[in-house]
Amino acid sequence: MDGLGVSAVPRLVLPLMAFGRLVTRPLNDPGTVRKLAVYAPHTPVLPTASVYFLHRLLHTIAAAEDDGNEREGQGE
């Protein structure tokens, strides 16, 4: 078949690819794992934007972990 291709892309890319006649399917299992690192200078006080970013990041990670724990318990 001509024009056939398969690619795994992050969900956030899909709107950028809306110009084509694409068919998408979610990849649910296995899940993805990403390692994140945050560098913060050794200062007594971080800028407000940095504090807010770190707070949101940690909140999002905790919510994702809670969601994952709930899913694991559903099949029992």
User: Count of domains in the chain?
Assistant: 1
Is residue 3 assigned to a domain? no
Q: Could you tell me if 29 and 10 are in contact, meaning their C-beta atoms sit under 8 angstroms apart? A: no
Q: Tell me the whole-structure pTM to 2 decimals.
A: 0.46
pLDDT digits 0-9 by tens, 14-73:
888 888 788 888 887 777 777 878 888 888 888 999 899 999 999 988 888 877 666 555
CA proximity to 24, closest of 8, 38, 44, 1: 8
pLDDT value at position 68? 66
Give residue 1's pLDDT band: very low, low, confident or very high (50, 70, 90): low
75, amino acid identity:
G
**Two tokens at 65?**
């972990």
Is residue 26 assigned to a domain? yes
Is residue 5 assigned to a domain? no
Is residue 2 assigned to a domain? no
- Which residue segment(s) compose the domain that 17 sits in? 11-74
Is residue 39 assigned to a domain? yes
